[in-house]
Structure 1
Amino acid sequence: MNPLFEEDNSTRIVGKRYKLVNQLGVGGFGQSFLAQDLHLPGCPRCVVKRLLAKTHDPKHLKTARRLFDTEARVLYQLGKHDQIPTLYAHFEENQEFYLVQEFIEGEPLTWQIVKGKPWAEERVIALIYDILEIMAFVHQQNVIHRDIKPANLIRRQKDNRLVLIDFGAVKQVSLQMADPDSEIADSTIAVGTHGYISNEQLAGKPRFCSDVYAIGMVGIQALTGVLPKQLDEDAATGELDWRVHAPNVSPEFAEVLDHMVYYDFRDRFPTAVEALEALQNLPPRLLALVEASKAADADSAEQAKSMVLETDSTQREMGTTNLTGDMVATYPQAETLMYGEEISSVHAVDQKQGGQKSGWSMLKGQGFKWLEKFPGRGVALVSGLAIAGVAVLLNKPNLVQNPVQKPSEAPKVPSRSSLKGSVTPKPSVSPSTLPLSPEQKTATLLKEAERLRQQKQYQQALNHYKQVIQLQPNNAQAYWGQCESLNGLKQPDAAVVACNDALDLNPDYAEALWSKGKALRQQEQILEALRLFEEATVLKPDFAAAWLDWGSALQEVGRSVEAIDALDQAIALNRNSAEAWSIRGAALWNLGRFDQAISSLDKALQIQPNATNARALRQQAREELGY
């Protein structure tokens, strides 16, 4: 483990003011820490990054210092943008280089862009638009990011806006510091992430359009639910054959994406500015949906509603709209509409041609349908859903009459005058009495199965998973839940079968690989288990449990050095794992590093005082050192 972040790290202070609180990440380019600025009132949080250096030769340090200062000036300039973290300080200490940046509280897009769960087209357009707006500023500063990917895009908690982090230019400095004897010029160093890195950048010759390529790949991943590295190429053209995974994408947006990810950089948009202009020239019907999608990500329903709704006191009670032209009413959360049910788009109405068209809307799971003609009026869009003007319901279930109707029986749209003084009708059917749809029943059963499994009620959980599979035979999560429950019941043979079923449906299911590895380990097939644990961490690098089991299995076969590396990853992701600290202590003991072993075991006992194995091993280590 790096000496900068040993167990006494809570007292570690760098730059004479930044107290390191917790390790956020570690990689080939260095480490990042959550820290507190002790010189400011309230000791606000920040991020401290320590860049990797493998040499302390004065000549090489001089070169590294020059590169570091140059890139720090670039980051200071970029930090003037609200959606790029501010660089607070950069300094050198004990021949190590540090950056101090603004801490962004939020979720990385890796938590939101999930494999197998494609986004709606309008949401993807809004996402790419937001990223390109940031990158247009970056490119205008003559800077190439070099490492755009979901993990480097944070959805900021306070305002739901995207923030771009982790510029590859600093990684370039780290590479120079790590390999100071290299004669390769700065511009030829390849920085990036497989799947998002373009051909010319892989060859060490990044351009502005290399960032455009990466943004396009993020968009395709969100649109298709497929990881970039799993996309095939067209045998005839050599271009990515991504459209097969998004058959309903509009041809206009698909064309923009194609121009962002062409193999030859000369065919792409040269910078983010040109790509942004192409998005702005999409058909109005798409842009209207994008605006609705943006509003759907707003902080509150009132904030989104106030954008376009024009209501009087009666309309606010009834949730009606009186729109003209291309005006759009938007709401950020589907659950504000009807009984918390999810809402999906059925048909978006284009009112431009004479205003005589009609639109459908559907509240999924409850069977509510509305159809109405709007002579000369616009359409309300709710999270991309086309709704007749008065069908917008603000948590007012008692406003709904005849919840399940045929289109011909749809209610008439009342006029503004007829609403005044009217009495609110009561529903003829209570929402709680409506039958659950198969999808709702499956989701409810799966949620209960997960709860039972987490509470170690494995047999009951198995019964629920079985019901899910009867309703939905292709539910990989249910098969994995069966596997994990059977592991808990010490039935590894059956667990392997269940995990294989999950992997047949989803070969890259990291959790299923991990659970199968645990079953094989119970069967004493340790080498095969090791392979599966490692594969799970490759597919899901933030999978702390897989790192832990991989480290534990490595230690079991005597590969203590590798075990420590894996356990360090597990601890970086979950510092409160007594098991990880304890096994790490055992690995250090095997290597004769007794002082460090005692330190790790002390940490394990601090978290779990009743860890008898850790206590016994610590006592042996203390005796070995003559304590």
Structure 2
Amino acid sequence: MNSNFLDGHYRILKVLSDGEKGKTYLVQDVNVSDNQFIVKQLCPPSSNPQTLTILHRLFARKTATLKQLGQKHDKIQKLIAYFEENEEFYIVQEFIPGNLFADEIIQGQPLSEDQVITLLSEVLEILVILHSYGVIHRDIQPANIIRRESDKKLVLVNFGTVNEAMTNTVDNLEYMPIEQVNGNLKYNSDIYALGMVAIAAMRGLPTKEISNLRSQKNNLTGEIIWRDKNLKFNSKLVKIINKMVRFDYRQRYQYATEVLDDLKKLKNVETHQQKQHDKKLLLVLMGVAGCITLSVGTWFLQSPKPVNNAEKKLYQDGLNKYDAGNYEGAIEDFNQAIELDPRNALAYNRRGNAYYRLGDYEQAQADSSQAILLNPQDANAYYDRGFAFSELGKYKEAIADYNQAIKLNSQNVYAYYGRGLARAELKDNKGAIGDFNKAIALKPQYTEAYLQRGILHRRLRQRLGAIEDFDRIIKINPSDAKAYYQRGLTQFINNQKYAALKDYTDAIKINPKYIEAYLNRGDVYSDLGNKIEATEDYNTILQIDPKFIAAYIHRAIHRFSFGDYQGAIEDYTAALKLDPNNVVAYNNRGNAYLELGNKKAANQDYSRAIAINGNNALAYYNRGVIRTKQKNKSGAIADFQKAAKLFQQQGEQDSYQDAQREIAILQNNSAPAKNTRPKSGKIEKN
């Protein structure tokens, strides 16, 4: 790739920023015109193929939505294109000549009240559009608002919705509400951020001063104390901003339209008072003001009959597309339904379900939260948000939502099931078993509940109970491949290898692309010494998915077991090309190098594994073996001591004793008894 070009045709004019998460460039598209664009590089958090596949899907969908929005609304920065190159993601954005709003906030020079109201009104109108499409900006701050040179209008840029999908982190905490920092994103998180921008403008505070301001809170309420007594602002405007920046999102404005309503009322009152003073036509003006107030109160919230009918049709079309598995199409319909009625709780709920199906759990959580705010008695919305929280790893929050769903509807079988999954993740095994039992009692044919209860029984070493659960599933549905697979895992743990082989084979017959079943059957064949059959299973996996790292590693372990050390090295190397930070591959490749007598390469691999994960006991142990062979006594003792400590912490008693034995031999400076010192390092399976 030519270093001066991106995607072959974007010529780099200037590097605008260079940070840990990627670079931002000013470019020219040589194929189209001399127009300039902004290209942002977004570095994914992992090079793991499975992770990249998920990120690719999220990236494509989020950028497609932003592209659509930019084309429809000229106060939203246009997204021109997006592409992937060398496992990195890029977005091409409109270059907007103008000034950053951050440059308009000068320390100690507050903006006027009218300027602040204009700021709020213009940005809120953009947020109405964004939120109706299910887009949360996530990073509203003065540096992401541009006053366009051509018409002096404010434009929103640098949407965090794509950045956070790639990095799963947040920056610029000065303007973010606590729920967003904690990963519990809401639509009114944007409203909070805009309120903080307004405060900065009203006080003349640059970004670096906002952090100090946030620390000035009321000890009783937790609210920010921001108002300067020397500054004279309309008390009603102050009240609006206070409500925008409430610490508790439930006490904040829920919609951009609500803030706009109050701002319009404020402006109307001011206009009303001015006319009273000038013309003194009180009765007439009261009538006019009443009409204005009525129109403002119904702004954006009421629609004539034809629009309501259109909204209902869009909602139904969205449901039909969802049922047909067209989740992207469903989201588009729900977007339009919400744009017509931003208080349509069902549309938010269903759109959240579609986001969940697409793997966008953060957006699913935000939509479910909005549905709950609109209808706190909707048990399904709590249940849906619980599953989104679980996928985000927020199991305590998920359990709280499942509790509420059960409180509202004690017969909600799926809420018990979801709570059981979350409790299992938190190691509340008794509670999880109880929830799966309740789900099964409510729905005796609920195979998923049997499956999860069986897996939990196996984890608790209640293997007969686990097999009974898997048997029950197979009786209910003889074509459930997962039940055969899970029973096979349990049989293998019970040392019933031939029974496990049969179960894995049955799972594969039902689902010929069941990669995990091939992987485990290959391992059983390898344990039984069936060299050809094991190799065939690993090869089949790689035909189905050439980027499935575990298949390379397991095939390498299999090759190592019968002395094909060079073949093992090739497989570990292939795994490391897919995931350069795979500790297992480095550790085990070191063992293969050691068997071939290449101590230097082995030592490098063990050291690399330790550099990636300083708590990898096997890598320390294996490097201790190398250092012993290299007569590096002090280094070997240090490695075995570190390994012993880690093995003990991890409950690996046999390995702990092995390491202690090696230390004793080295410290006593005596020759080891025959066959006590390992010829090679310990193998690690992922």
Q: Does TM, scored on the shorter chain, surpass 0.5?
A: no
What TM-score do you get using the length of structure 1 for normalisation?
0.42
Structure showing greater Rg: 2
What TM-score do you get using the length of structure 2 for normalisation?
0.38
- Is the helix fraction higher in 1 or 2? 2
Greater RCO structure (CA 8 Å; 6+ sep): 1
